[in-house]
Chains A and B, each alone.
Chain A
Amino acid sequence: MRRVAVIGTGHSKFCFNSEKTQVEMLAEVALDAINEANITPKDVQAVNVGNVLGDFEEGQGMVQSFLANDIGCFNVAASRFEGACASGSMAVRDAVMWVASGYYDIMLVGGVEKATAMGTPLATRTFAMFGDSRYEFPAGFTFPAVFALLAHLYSNKYGIPMAALKEQMAAVSVQSHEYAMKNPNAQIHKAISKEDVLKSFMVSTPIQLQDACPFSDGAAAIVIASEEAAKKLVKKPVYFAGIGQASSGKLSSQQKYLPRIRARELASQQSYSMAGLTPEDMDLCELHDCFSIAAMIAAEGLGFFDYGTSGLAWEKGETRIGGKIPINLSGGLKAKGHPIGATGVSQVYEVTRQLRGDMAEQGRQVDGAKNGIIDTLGGDGVLVSMILSTM
């Protein structure tokens, strides 16, 4: 397999109530990525797009082909990926394999979502479609409820009293909002305190509004190329050192592992193994913090902290710049926003720019970062992990 690199990146501002269509949002960031890669749309051999609910959001299915045409990638193979909130990461991983195999040399990968167009009730209904529709939706399954079930399980399994766990969860949200203030693309630019989190609306016990990411609109795109092509086109290609993906079934079927997510551990082990790297080698991480408890579970599953201890790590600042493993310096899903089809691509954008040293001007650069990992969770059942490296 050939080595594959990111050579161009594009990212919209994540927001509520975008005035643009999904094709427009994605076309803008796609052209930014294409321009940064020093190529033209005619050089793109295939397009992958993560898009989850376009059908419900603006009555638009098959957005990938309309996007490809809209940006002048006329008649190329265009594919849509649907793995709930991990759709963008799936689209990236799949493209990496096509380029690694030698079938294509240059591909565009984008992700887009316009979830706020649905309004909260329909958005909650459609997001619940990523749980088991027959056996778990009837009980009132929603994603806040899933992570609420896991939070109580986490408290019980690791012997952390709920009051203490709530404080730890709040620390996760506070940090994310703080870093989002430095990210011009973030949806939410507002510092919050632990007290703000703890007095926010109770969504599903013990998860409160400020433990949860918002519904979001937005897009992100990258251009990837073979190592040979990348070196001719750009000064600082950032390489995919490792990729991994795994699946799981309905929540109850994961009973042996919960609150750990077995598929995440498998996906990240694939990534670490392919890269020949360990969690200690990572200089930063963008992980799937759809809820504060989800961030804690993810950080442990990726091997950064012992089970049941990551909340303390957040409280001690070990997840900040200068700490053991800087996590979600973008603001994370919580404050950067979570346009679900775009999220994985956005994570790759963030880590790529950190590894290129581009974030100094925003005041959130990890100095000398060489390796970074991204982690994306889709619904009950898609986990993607990818390690990016300067080498």
Chain B
Amino acid sequence: MEYKLTFKDYNQALKRDKLMGLKCNDCGAFTCPPMMVCGECARTNHEIAQLSGKGKIVTFTTSFIAAEGRENEVPYTIVMVELDEGPWIMGNLVAIDPKKVTMDIVGKPVQLGNRVYPADKYSNGDMARPAFSLLE
């Protein structure tokens, strides 16, 4: 059985600020990031769908350490965002001062953009990730 929405296709779309996922025809749930099956009902009767890229922050951290090769990114803020369509997704919070991010950020609405992580020797190519900014 074919993988409907691969990382390659997801990644290419995200680089154009389009967040792609799957919408289940059986239970209606969205799965994003994509998987082989519906993350809710584990069936495969779904189709590729574009998500709004809007959601709200459920949790965050500002990191002062980084993996090898990413030291120049610190400090950076990681957020977990609950998308309007339901799924949670991990990304960064940008256009803010990471050192000033506090618990007040939780619940704030955000809009998706993207940043690209350039390849390292383990990553098998570059990878875009959601880069959220606060909606004023």
Contact = CB atoms under 8 A, between A and B. Distances in A.
Interface stretch (A141-149, A177-185, A305-313, A345-353): A141-149
Nearest to B127: A138
Contact of A205 (B39, B62, B122): B62
Interface string A233-250: 000000000000000011
Interface in B18-43: 33, 35, 39
B91 A139 contact: yes
Contact of A255 (B35, B60, B73, B88): B88
Contacts of B39: 253
Contact of A125 (B7, B60, B62, B67): B67
B12 to A, nearest CB: 13
Contact of B68 (A121, A136, A155, A206): A121
Contacts of B128: 138
Nearest to A152: B59
The range of chain A's interface size is 35 or more
Contact of B62 (A151, A153, A204, A253): A204
A252 B88 contact: yes
A149 B62 CA distance: 9
B interface residue count range (under 10 / 10 to 19 / 20 to 34 / 35 or more): 35 or more
Interface string A197-221: 0000111111100000000000000
B65 A144 contact: yes
A150 interface: yes
A141 to B, nearest CB: 7
A134 B7 CA distance: 7
Interface in A129-167: 129, 132-142, 144-145, 148-153, 155-156, 162
A79 interface: no
Nearest to A254: B88
Most buried by B among A129, A142, A144, A249: A142
Contacts of B69: 121, 125
Contact of B64 (A141, A155, A204): A204
A155 B117 CA distance: 30
A153 B88 CA distance: 13
Given A122-B68, A252-B33, A137 B61 contact: no
B106 A204 contact: no
A156 B106 contact: yes
B59 A156 contact: yes
Contact of B92 (A140, A153, A252): A140
